[in-house]
Amino acid sequence: MSTKVLFVGESLVVHRFFDKGILDFMIASNFEDDGIFLREALKRAKFEVHHIPTMAAATVFPETMEEILNYDVVILSDVGSNTLLLHPEVFVKSRPRPNRLKLIKDYVVNHGKGFLMIGGYLSFQGLHGIAGYKSTPIEEILPVELMNYDDRVEVPEGYNPIVTNRSHPIVRDFPEVWPTLLGYNKTILKKNATLIAEFNNDPILAVYEIGKGRTAAFMSDCAPHWGTNDFLNWEYYDILWERIINWLTKKI
């Protein structure tokens, strides 16, 4: 049976304002699918992938254990905590709904499933801290502790992650130095977590065993802009995500 992955995020609607004069202006909008890079990599690895775009997650993300147990791994990438916390029934109509951050924690800890968070402006704490995963059930299961503030580290000149644990099955036979990335979310490795790659003494890839399940955190991006063309076209790009998923599902 193939591994089933629920991948949430990495999409956006862009609004452009065109000012043509004192009273003449227009607005144009378009949908951008940055999830294509990771989604296609996972499909090439023969995983069964269900991708929920960011703007649909508030209503589509599972609310029950029965629903979420249809998947072996949940991935959140560039989708803030409010999107999962504030179902429209909660935000608009003031009606209680299940807490989906608690659901993910239960899914991992008590049901032995896998969880991965990938970095970005709406991951971990993110831009101005608006991702908001600090002091939530998600932080409790991550291999890293989160900052209390905007955790972005912008590196416009580029940096290269270094593998620190070359014996780990995720990166066995990988090169020690990875292609250039342009930023990451700053975090602190938890005491019992395993560091796999770092930059400037900050975790870039870390994994964790908690309860019956496993979690992983990749502090940079799987897509632009932190993900450069060199990284996205790297010969190990597909293999990296394939092995992370296989580790989370205890296949390696």
Task: Give per-residue pLDDT as tens, 176-190.
Answer: 999 999 999 999 999
Tens of pLDDT along 201-224?
Answer: 999 999 999 999 999 999 999 999
What pLDDT is recorded for position 196? Answer: 98
Q: Which pLDDT belongs to residue 12?
A: 66
Count: domains in the chain: 1
CATH of residue 165's domain is 3.40.50.880
Domain extent, residue 151, equals 4-248
Angle (CA) 132 136 139, round 5°:
90
Strands 114-118 and 213-218: parallel
Beta-strand (E) ranges in the chain? 4-9, 11-19, 25-33, 48-52, 73-77, 114-118, 144-146, 152-159, 162-163, 181-185, 187-189, 194-199, 202-210, 213-218
Confidence of residue 122 (pLDDT cuts 50, 70, 90): very high
Amino acid type, 93: K
pLDDT by residue (tens digit) across 3-28? 999 999 987 677 777 787 777 777 87
Q: Which of 28-32, 78-82, 224-228 has the lowest mean pLDDT?
A: 28-32
The closest alpha carbon to 181, from 216, 218, 221, 122, belongs to 221
Average pLDDT over residues 109-131: 98
Specify the DSSP class assigned to residue 212.
T
Distances from the Cα of 121 to the Cα of 34, 69, 165, 184, 199, angstroms: 13, 28, 27, 9, 18
N-to-C CA span, the chain: 16
Least Cα distance to 185 among 117, 227, 125 occurs for: 125
Q: Which residues pair with 144 in a beta bridge?
A: 189
